[in-house]
Amino acid sequence: ERPSLVMGTVRMEERSVGYPQHVNHDLSAMGCPVHLDDVDLFGEGAQEHWYEAYEILHRDAPVHRLDGGGLTPGSDAFILTKHADITMVVKDPVRFPSVTTMRLGKLVEQGLSGEEVYAAQNSLMTASMVTLRPTQELYFRHRKELTDPWVGPGAFRHREMIAQHANALIDEWIADSGAGDFEVEFISRFARPLPQRVMASILGFPLEDMPRLAAWGDAVVMPFVQGHGHRHELTPEQIDDMVARLDGFQEYIYEHVTAKRADPRDDMVSFLCDAHYQALDRKLTDIEIAGIVHAMIIGGLETTQYALEEQAQLLCEFPGTFERLRNDRSKLRNFVEESMRMRSPTHGLSTRVTANDEVFQGVPVPAGSLLHMRFGAANVDADEFECPFDLDLDREGVSRHVTFSAGPRVCPGATLSRLEQQIAWGVLLDRLESIEYG
């Protein structure tokens, strides 16, 4: 007999949002926008009003200028909110080069080694990228040779492991609560630890190290969670805090690299230690391996955690959906895709620049402008998705959303995240009778 899960209050922290079908504006003093002048996507408490703001931007300013918000003095940034504009941009890295590629190109021109880049910028990921994938061609080779076997198409090897972790977490609930109905705080007891355990297993790190890995993971993603404005900038104090919280992370990775070179196992770090990177005709250095691990933690924890949180909320807000999925598992994939469309785990990133003068929605955008792509807005664009705020398990072309971006630089871990979400809800549907707010 299946127990029912009575959800504790789902705390979305800085990700809490209101939207037309379930408005909850009790977390900050910011007012709900009514006119374009009210729209502020980046101020304190803005998350509560993002979806109301998107409707206003779609109607009144689908291309919204941020004066002086560009990367160079005197240049501007532009917020893109239409699905058609964003898909065009992300599918054309020549016309709209990535900020990362441009910065890496400058570092390569300076002839800096990975170690020199790390000493100057204190970023393991940048230090590895400057040698492993500074160009578009090497980016493709990097993915194909080094990450796809583990978090891309090769992620299906992890099916059983993901299911084991999901079941183990539910077993812990039952051990704590006993048989019958029980109440669980879903984020801390499932949505957060599941991707942490999965990524630790993929990398080959012991699960008993999860508290340290979780703390380092929180520090790694600080710019995306606590950063200010459309460029996710941290204050000097926040940067110092992030560096302090990352103390020991590099050494931890190096210790495991040394151990796995001597005694390789079936995990990603062991694979990277032994891999001969054909693109450069050599093996990877320790700092390059550490940089890849850093990137896996950024991409492998937050997106999946937020997706699971939002899916749990949608199941509570759309009565009958849990029962329908339990009785018809063929709709589970559509549920995962629809939920990521309706409640994007990542709402926006400023990652592209215009190489030439462009025009979006009739608005001239000069060459050299920074583009803030608002994925969350594109995913509820009524010109692309009919009744965008409806959870439609029968929606055609359900994966047209841009939650993982699109085109040649689509998120490398998209396959793994989708797999985790589908397996997680498959296990929950097997073992639970119902799910509701507590």
pLDDT at 437: 86
pLDDT at 136: 87
pLDDT at 27: 63
Apex 24 CA angle, 426 and 418, nearest 5: 25
> Given pLDDT bands bounded at 50, 70 and 90, which one contains residue 273?
very high
pLDDT at 17: 42
pLDDT in tens, 255-264: 999 999 999 9
Q: Rounded to whole angstroms, how far apart are CA atoms 301 and 151?
A: 12
Least confident piece of the model among 173-177, 317-321, 407-411: 173-177
Mean pLDDT, rounded, for 384-402: 96
pLDDT at 21: 44
Residue 8: pLDDT above 50?
Answer: no
Mean pLDDT, rounded, for 120-143: 91
Mean pLDDT, rounded, for 224-242: 92
CA 175 centroid distance within chain? 32
Q: Which of 360, 352, 425 is nearest to 163 (CA)?
A: 425
pTM: 0.92
Do 267 and 204 contact (CB within 8 A), yes or no? Answer: yes
In percent, the amount of the chain with pLDDT more than 70 equals 93
Q: Rounded to whole angstroms, how far apart are CA atoms 405 and 402?
A: 5
Q: Rounded to whole angstroms, how far apart are CA atoms 135 and 211?
A: 36
* Residue keyed to tokens 């996710």: 232
Q: Rounded to whole angstroms, how far apart are CA atoms 322 and 332?
A: 10
pLDDT in tens, 47-89: 999 999 999 999 999 999 999 999 999 999 999 999 999 999 9
Number of neighbouring beta carbons within 10 Å of residue 154? 14
Question: How does DSSP assign 22-43, residue by residue?
Answer: B----S-SPPPP-SGGG--SSS
Q: In a 3-state reduction of DSSP, which class is residue 352? A: strand
* Residue keyed to tokens 């993901």: 162
